[in-house]
Amino acid sequence: MNNLVILGSIGLDDIETPFGTAKGALGGSGIYAACAASFFAKPDLISIVGKDMPKEHIGLLKQRGIDLTGVSICEKTFRWSGFYEYDMNEAKTKKTELNSLLEFKAEVPEVYRSPEFLFLANIDPEHQLSVLRKMKTKPFVIVDTMNFWIASKKDKLLEVIKKADLVVINEGEARQLFGTPNLIKAGKILLDLGPEYAVIKKGEHGALLFSSENYFSAPGYPLEEVKDPTGAGDSFAGALAGYLAKTKDTSERNVRKAVVYGSAVASCCAEAFSLDYLKDTKYKNIKERYGVFKKIRKF
């Protein structure tokens, strides 16, 4: 059906949080995004992975119905190491080893070139632009990024944002990108660049959705134990993209629902390291959390 194509990184992560550590854990924006989207759709993944990636990780992706035709193979997988202090909303990067991402050509298989929805997850904006250029038809384009690319390739990133229909970015990165402490201003600047919607993620405190007419604020899921928020942002955006691809409805009302589904899936991601909790989460659990959101939003 090819109605959702995702571009993102595949990585091996070393993570430290106040609640434990993980070494060589499955990670990367493309992995979290595709797994989260797979609750709603069958995503096609464009990425690159090294031969050093344990086989069982690849098995997990296949089990979830993720198409890997667009994943090329090289020697060494991208690696990221980071840590969190008690403020689990901010990841601090210790080291980024681009490895595979340096030789990535962002090749797009012929069957991936006319999706209805394209999610350009956090990766080098030059790869995001390259994939966009290869599309034969105009998909609904969702874009995410992170501080690393804002610092190193801001101009290219702004080019990508101008071509997006919906931009997802976290609060710290929105402030960094536009040099303002005010998220309402940052949301408006994002919309002025062209996208129909802008979503600013606020970690455990939820997300803000901006459109030209309206403003919507979704709370975070009331989790008492956050073990590792790595990938929660990618999972949020992946689930949002998956829900839109499933429903094929980009009205504001439906984008609001997609934001809430995004928050529900992201909360499952944060319950354990890597994909340890998310991989065993059932669609029914996501629906239950969606129900909790409905309840806590009533006043």
Chain residues binding ligand AMP by CB under 6 A are: 9, 11, 13, 27-29, 32, 80, 91, 96, 122-123, 146, 148, 230-234
| C-beta closer to ligand AMP: residue 52 or 252 | 52
Alpha carbon distances (Å) from 3 to 30, 51, 110, 115, 141:
16, 29, 14, 4, 12
Least gap, CB of 172 to ligand AMP (angstroms) = 10
| C-beta closer to ligand AMP: residue 127 or 246 | 127
Least gap, CB of 243 to ligand AMP (angstroms) = 17
CA distance 223 to 220: 8
Least gap, CB of 47 to ligand AMP (angstroms) = 10
Distance between first and last Cα of the chain: 41
| C-beta closer to ligand AMP: residue 22 or 286 | 22
Count CB-CB contacts under 10 A for residue 35. Answer: 28
| C-beta closer to ligand AMP: residue 3 or 100 | 100
Beta strands in 221-275 (DSSP E): none
CA distance 128 to 273: 27
Least gap, CB of 174 to ligand AMP (angstroms) = 13
Q: Which residues, other chains included, contact 242 with Cβ-Cβ below 8 Å and sequence gap of 6+?
A: 4, 36, 37, 38, 39, 40, 41, 43, 261
Residue number of the CB closest to ligand AMP reads: 27
| C-beta closer to ligand AMP: residue 116 or 142 | 142
The most distant pair of C-alpha atoms in the chain lies apart, rounded to whole Å, by 55
Least gap, CB of 1 to ligand AMP (angstroms) = 26
| C-beta closer to ligand AMP: residue 252 or 276 | 276
| C-beta closer to ligand AMP: residue 91 or 264 | 91
Least gap, CB of 275 to ligand AMP (angstroms) = 10
CA distance 256 to 254: 5
Least gap, CB of 192 to ligand AMP (angstroms) = 25
CA distance 21 to 243: 32
CA distance 204 to 90: 10
